[in-house]
A = this chain, B = another copy of it.
């Protein structure tokens, strides 16, 4: 192990769609852990659409990245050197860590994962933040009942693919909206959705009328924009809309304009509730346990789009906004040894 490593820092606040020019890859020394700290070799990096919001200098539920700050997100890594009694060399751990090849973490900020439950990468997807986002957003806000119609956008993505499967477990009829025929085939054939719509080749409003003859009871919102606009006229009374993401608007430079929703909500007594998974942190154990059981019973499948090599981290992040990923997008930086 040489004592230098690569890091990805935010160079500019992106205007509109981010580009490679907004980031810089720099060489930096690998530091030594102090007492209570652990040196971790990065194995998997999670790239997520919500990180785009942190690149703007605006108040939100997490503070923005500073200029020249190392980007950070969910990371699985392996302990190289430990100055903590809680971790030993070789432990595989999870934390919010930098986009870099090696990180120093406080012992209180990471946790060990149990590879007997699932492969390590699953702790960044179905058993991690994206699985928990799907779980709590759908069950705590969406509350699907047997026989109801659940529509999910971003249906082949990290969160949407889990949302639809949980809705099926709960006995709902599930319609997914995604951006390619490959994704449509995937969510029907592999994940068991009842129907799917390709928003790039179909008129979403017409396709929703055809696939949701009994209206829409739950709409799990991942994308915003015109796709969501088509949902509101089809809401049933007392419909629920967990608002998880609005990826279509994240790179907008101008205001994101569309039909106002108030009249639709009044007519149907429907609910829209924004959320982030952090709201449920006190219940993560409960969620992870149930997701783990479903996984073990074969009721829940998960897909990963794995990009090999640290140098492709930015590519994979930029690809999220092109809808290139199927399931969770992860960077594989190194092997677990």
- Report B-chain residues with C-beta under 8 Å of the C-beta of A225: 260
Minimal beta-carbon separation of A123 from chain B (angstroms)? 24
Among the interface residues A237, A256, A263, which one has the most CB atoms of the partner chain B within 10 A?
Answer: A263
CB atoms of B61 and A268 under 8 A apart: yes
Interface residue tally of chain A, by bracket?
Answer: 35 or more
In the complex, whether A305 has a CB less than 8 A from a CB of chain B is no
Q: Known contacts being A257-B258, A268-B274, A273-B271, is A263 close to B246, with CB within 8 Å? A: yes
- Report B-chain residues with C-beta under 8 Å of the C-beta of A228: 260, 262
- Report B-chain residues with C-beta under 8 Å of the C-beta of A162: none
Determine the distance from Cα of A279 to Cα of B265 in the docked complex, in whole angstroms. 13
Determine the distance from Cα of A243 to Cα of B272 in the docked complex, in whole angstroms. 11
Partner of A243, one of B255, B262, B279: B262
Determine the distance from Cα of A48 to Cα of B263 in the docked complex, in whole angstroms. 16
Which residue from chain B places its CB closest to the CB of A263 in the assembled complex?
A: B246
Assembly stoichiometry (copies): 2
Q: Known contacts being A245-B266, A265-B274, A274-B269, is A258 close to B260, with CB within 8 Å? A: yes
In the complex, whether A201 has a CB less than 8 A from a CB of chain B is no
In the complex, whether A259 has a CB less than 8 A from a CB of chain B is yes
CB atoms of A257 and B256 under 8 A apart: no
Write the A236-261 contact mask toward B (1 if CB under 8 angstroms, else 0). Answer: 01000001111001000001111111
In the complex, whether A289 has a CB less than 8 A from a CB of chain B is no
Among the interface residues A59, A257, A266, A275, which one has the most CB atoms of the partner chain B within 10 A?
Answer: A266
Determine the distance from Cα of A228 to Cα of B263 in the docked complex, in whole angstroms. 12
Minimal beta-carbon separation of A279 from chain B (angstroms)? 6
In the complex, whether A198 has a CB less than 8 A from a CB of chain B is no
Determine the distance from Cα of A237 to Cα of B244 in the docked complex, in whole angstroms. 15
In the complex, whether A199 has a CB less than 8 A from a CB of chain B is no
- Closest 4 pairs (CB-CB, A-B): A265-B274, A246-B262, A266-B274, A224-B262
18 A-B contacts (beta carbon < 8 Å): A243-B262, A243-B266, A246-B262, A249-B263, A255-B259, A256-B259, A256-B260, A257-B258, A257-B260, A261-B261, A264-B274, A265-B272, A268-B274, A269-B273, A269-B274, A271-B272, A272-B272, A272-B273
